[in-house]
Chains A and B, each alone.
Chain A
Amino acid sequence: MARRTFSIGGVHPNDAKISRDCKIETLPTPPTVYIAVAQHIGAPAKPVVAVGDKVKAGQVIAEPGGFMSAYIHSSVSGTVKSIGPRKDLSGNNQMVVEIAVEGDEWMEGIDRTDTLITEIPQDPKAIIEKIKLGGVVGLGGATFPTHVKLSPPPGKKCEMLIINGCECEPYLTSDFRTLLEKGEQVVIGTAIIKKALGVDKATIAIEDNKPEAIEHITKVVAEMKAKSPDYAGIEVLSLMKKYPEGGEKQLIDAVMHRQVKSGGLPIDVGAVVDNVCTALAVYEAVQKNKPLVDNSVTVTGECFPHQANLLVRVGTPLSYIIDYLGGVPADAAKVISGGPMMGKAIANLDAATLKGTGGILFLTEKQTRRMPESSCIRCGKCADACPMGLEPFLLNRLYKAGNTEALEANAVQDCIMCGCCLYSCPAGIPLLDAISQARGQVMGIMKARAAAAKAAAEAAKAQ
């Protein structure tokens, strides 16, 4: 049978999952954590603690700052030392709550045992409320508040829940380890999300470079189905390894053979996509009353001698994690938060982890050096690689010419920043650098135009 995958573009970098055998190990709690109030898409949360307050692990320290926002909980017990700006991994100031750790005392009602609770609540509203109170956000990269995603706007109906276990980024293995070690929790989490959405079908999609995970999850799903009707409709789907399969739009195409319209949402084609770690966080929030205060982080790289998957408290300084594993290797030139294709190069190693931090990757200069730029030979490899079907060579040229109209007509705003174009360009042209600038400009123009149209409509109404 042909291996299933998304239909447009994609590249095949070496998956380099060298940390795949590293079991998830719990990192000791650092002496101080720095918990940012903005670690999700949307409005930053508003701090509800004051300097000098004693907090427990799992206690709310910031409340949602709007509809599109999320609760933030303390990941440790201790004393609030300060609330103010601190440099994030890019070196920009972000509001953080600094907590000096004292002991490890948790809020009452949080179940930290390993006991599985397979019986799931039946009321969608109650589930979504618990997810909201647990501060759960999407852990696949975008950190979209999960309770918002699970409340589709009126008139939109979800037909398929997709649990994203692709982990198509090279090097990262924390999703893979989660599937292997906490497969039951992920499957229960899937059933809970399915119940919250009121949808019959759910697909757990895993790339076929992780056969152990596919086998294990298939087994777990079969066991769960035998126990309760709540698990009916959950299937496991093996997908061909190809980057960026884990991209939301690509995954919907691969699983449902449907494409989200430009500017649309997955729910428009009846899809909701959540990462496996999000499903785990949902399980913990709903079944165990445990808010999202820790997450698994892959620490890896060929030049890094102590590969690891660590369970890290949110707000742990990156330097603390790195020092725990023996420090930055001498020949590392770049440290990346996330994977090598879409991750961010870290400028400040003292920055703290966020809910969405999935990996710390060390690359040598040789591995990550950009090659000198030469002339475009019009080979079209960038267009072949683009999973959105865009023509990066053209967008690059239009950006240099400053032609924002043509950029919009050629759909620069559809770019998902996956990096396939720059990865595949044989002439080493920094295509994505130009395209991301162009995309920013065009999106700004589109936003301004929409605002102007809205204002004009309101003015017409008022007359």
Chain B
Amino acid sequence: MDKILVSPNPHLHSKTTTAVLMRDVVIALLPAVLVSVFFYGWKELLVLAVSVLSCVLIEYLITRYCLKKASTIGDWSAIVTGILLALNLPTTTPWWVVFLGALVAIGVAKMTFGGLGQNVFNPALVGRVFLLISFPTYMTHWEIPQGFFGVDAVSGATPLGAIKEGLLQGATVPDLMAQHGYSYSQMLFANIGGSAGEVCAIAILLGFGYLLIRKVIKPWITLSILGTVALVSCIFWMADPAQFTDPLFNLLTGGLLLGSCFMATDYVTSPMSTKGGIVYGIGIGFITLMIRYFGSYPEGMSFAILIMNSTVPLLNNWFHQKKYGRA
């Protein structure tokens, strides 16, 4: 012992670092990734690869050459953004569109705000919404899952899209459900059209369970979104089952599960307190459903999360956790 270290307490540190947390999110996303690759095949693999590599590369180049700082790609957060962006895109998205999405996600939504921890909006969602508005043709061209070796892709609308379109033409919900042959077991075990990450509810819930067990996230935001969607859609559906889809359909379709388990729970862009998180979740659930029922887009999850992202500083100001010995 040639030197003696002196520093204030505590002298120990938990082994959980930012990189460990982000790596856990990547592990939690693996079931959804594997299922989507299994159903959509090499095309999905390509979208994933382009998205993840672009995100990492763009973050590296910006930190090293624009900000002239040490690279932050070691924290795994760019990989998380890359996977989430890919899971939010149709499998048929051309590689250069995926790259543009990554550029907006990392370059604009994350790094211009100062990098991880500073961004107001969820980067992957900003990337996705940018593409949705800029390249609507690519972004609404869905493919029905055909399996890994399925060569002839069949295009079709997502359940949410098909119902919305049908309703506009004057059909009723039960007719449309029967016409398209949608079943809940299909939605649970992956067989419906949609962006890659939306196809299998079970895979997403598996990842969510892993995040809960590893204590990466707490369940309140997710439960609050799902509860709000179930409750509000129940009210509308009971009022008019011909015009409004039922709660289970709303819970299992679109980006609701992926969004509520993995995107709305993003540390940086969600409230710090449990109470704030519940209010934030109610907002997301409500806005999503309003867009689905009354908006011109068939799905509103991305918009709902981004809108509620903007309220987070306010929610953090309003809601604090209970302090010891204070009312």
Q: Which residues of A contact B (CB under 8 A)?
A: 8, 11, 13, 170, 249, 253, 259-262, 264, 328-336, 340-347, 349, 361, 363, 365, 367-368, 370-371, 374-381, 383, 387-391, 393, 410-411, 414, 417-420, 422-424, 426-428, 432-433, 436
User: How far apart are the CA atoms of A342 and B3 in the complex, in Å?
Assistant: 22
- Of the candidates A13, A333, A346, A389, the one whose C-beta lies within 8 Å of that of B14 is A13
User: How far apart are the CA atoms of A347 and B14 in the complex, in Å?
Assistant: 24
Question: Is B294 engaged at the interface, CB distance under 8 Å to the other chain?
Answer: no
Q: Which residues of A contact B16 (CB under 8 A)?
A: 381, 424, 426
Q: Which residues of B contact A433 (CB under 8 A)?
A: 8
B321 touches A383 (CB 8 A): yes
B320 touches A391 (CB 8 A): yes
Interface hits, B101-139 → A, CB 8 Å: 114-118
Q: Which residues of B contact A417 (CB under 8 A)?
A: 9
Question: Is B20 engaged at the interface, CB distance under 8 Å to the other chain?
Answer: yes
B267 touches A379 (CB 8 A): yes
Those 4 A-B pairs whose CB atoms lie nearest each other, nearest first: A419-B10, A375-B117, A389-B323, A259-B325
Q: Which residues of B contact A388 (CB under 8 A)?
A: 323-325
Known contacts A259-B324, A375-B117, A380-B267, A422 near B13 by CB under 8 Å = yes
A332 touches B13 (CB 8 A): no
Number of chain B residues whose Cβ lies closer than 8 Å to a Cβ of chain A: 37
User: How far apart are the CA atoms of A328 and B273 in the complex, in Å?
Assistant: 45
Q: Which residues of B contact A328 (CB under 8 A)?
A: 1
Known contacts A368-B12, A426-B21, A345 near B6 by CB under 8 Å = yes
Q: Which residues of A contact B75 (CB under 8 A)?
A: 374
B117 touches A377 (CB 8 A): yes
Known contacts A340-B10, A423-B14, A333 near B325 by CB under 8 Å = no
A367 touches B12 (CB 8 A): yes
Interface hits, B275-327 → A, CB 8 Å: 320-326
Q: Which of A13, A261, A389, A420 has its CB near the most chain B CB atoms (within 10 A)?
A: A389
A378 touches B268 (CB 8 A): yes
Q: Which residues of B contact A343 (CB under 8 A)?
A: 9, 11
Q: Smallest distance from the beta carbon of A381 to chain B beta carbons, Å?
A: 8
Known contacts A341-B9, A345-B5, A11 near B324 by CB under 8 Å = no
Q: Which residues of A contact B151 (CB under 8 A)?
A: none
- 30 residue pairs A–B, Cβ–Cβ below 8 Å: A8-B322, A8-B323, A249-B324, A259-B324, A328-B1, A331-B1, A334-B7, A335-B4, A336-B11, A340-B9, A343-B9, A345-B8, A365-B5, A375-B118, A378-B272, A388-B323, A389-B322, A391-B320, A410-B320, A414-B323, A414-B324, A422-B13, A423-B13, A423-B14, A426-B14, A426-B16, A426-B21, A427-B17, A432-B9, A433-B8
Known contacts A261-B325, A383-B272, A424-B16, A377 near B116 by CB under 8 Å = yes
User: How far apart are the CA atoms of A428 and B15 in the complex, in Å?
Assistant: 10
A378 touches B13 (CB 8 A): no
- Of the candidates B4, B14, B17, the one whose C-beta lies within 8 Å of that of A334 is B4
User: How far apart are the CA atoms of A307 and B30 in the complex, in Å?
Assistant: 45
User: How far apart are the CA atoms of A381 and B277 in the complex, in Å?
Assistant: 14
Q: Smallest distance from the beta carbon of B29 to chain A beta carbons, Å?
A: 17
B21 touches A432 (CB 8 A): no
Q: Smallest distance from the beta carbon of A380 to chain B beta carbons, Å?
A: 4
A426 touches B11 (CB 8 A): no
- Of the candidates A260, A335, A376, A383, the one whose C-beta lies within 8 Å of that of B325 is A260
Known contacts A170-B12, A419-B9, A428-B17, A414 near B325 by CB under 8 Å = yes
Q: Which residues of B contact A371 (CB under 8 A)?
A: 13, 17
Known contacts A328-B1, A378-B268, A411 near B326 by CB under 8 Å = yes
B116 touches A375 (CB 8 A): yes
User: How far apart are the CA atoms of A328 and B18 in the complex, in Å?
Assistant: 34
**Across the two chains, which residue of chain B brings its CB closest to A268?**
B325
Question: Is B146 engaged at the interface, CB distance under 8 Å to the other chain?
Answer: no
User: How far apart are the CA atoms of A129 and B117 in the complex, in Å?
Assistant: 58
Q: Smallest distance from the beta carbon of A90 to chain B beta carbons, Å?
A: 8
Q: Smallest distance from the beta carbon of B285 to chain A beta carbons, Å?
A: 21
A333-B1, A368-B11, A414-B326 are known contacts; what are 9 more A-B pairs with Cβ within 8 Å?
A: A329-B1, A334-B7, A346-B4, A349-B4, A371-B17, A377-B21, A383-B273, A391-B272, A423-B14
Question: Is B172 engaged at the interface, CB distance under 8 Å to the other chain?
Answer: no
Known contacts A378-B268, A391-B272, A333 near B4 by CB under 8 Å = yes
Q: Which residues of B contact A (CB under 8 A)?
A: 1, 3-14, 16-18, 20-21, 72, 75, 77, 114-118, 267-268, 272-273, 320-326
Q: Which residues of A contact B72 (CB under 8 A)?
A: 374-375
- Of the candidates B3, B9, B14, B21, the one whose C-beta lies within 8 Å of that of A379 is B21
**Across the two chains, which residue of chain B brings its CB closest to A411?**
B323
User: How far apart are the CA atoms of A347 and B5 in the complex, in Å?
Assistant: 8
Known contacts A330-B1, A368-B11, A377 near B325 by CB under 8 Å = no
Q: Smallest distance from the beta carbon of B115 to chain A beta carbons, Å?
A: 6
User: How far apart are the CA atoms of A119 and B172 in the complex, in Å?
Assistant: 88
Q: Smallest distance from the beta carbon of B281 to chain A beta carbons, Å?
A: 15
Q: Which residues of B contact A410 (CB under 8 A)?
A: 320
User: How far apart are the CA atoms of A433 and B7 in the complex, in Å?
Assistant: 9
**Across the two chains, which residue of chain B brings its CB closest to A250?**
B324
Q: Smallest distance from the beta carbon of B316 to chain A beta carbons, Å?
A: 8
B12 touches A13 (CB 8 A): yes
B325 touches A341 (CB 8 A): no
Q: Which residues of A contact B7 (CB under 8 A)?
A: 334, 345, 370
User: How far apart are the CA atoms of A410 and B273 in the complex, in Å?
Assistant: 14
A426 touches B18 (CB 8 A): yes
User: How far apart are the CA atoms of A367 and B14 in the complex, in Å?
Assistant: 10
B8 touches A363 (CB 8 A): no
Q: Which residues of A contact B267 (CB under 8 A)?
A: 377-380
Q: Smallest distance from the beta carbon of A193 to chain B beta carbons, Å?
A: 24
Known contacts A378-B268, A419-B10, A391 near B326 by CB under 8 Å = no
**Across the two chains, which residue of chain A brings its CB closest to B269?**
A378
User: How far apart are the CA atoms of A410 and B320 in the complex, in Å?
Assistant: 10
Q: Which residues of A contact B324 (CB under 8 A)?
A: 8, 249, 253, 259, 387-389, 414
**Across the two chains, which residue of chain A brings its CB closest to B327?**
A261
B4 touches A376 (CB 8 A): no
A426 touches B10 (CB 8 A): no
Known contacts A170-B12, A261-B325, A343-B11, A374 near B273 by CB under 8 Å = no
B14 touches A11 (CB 8 A): yes
Known contacts A334-B5, A347-B4, A370 near B18 by CB under 8 Å = no
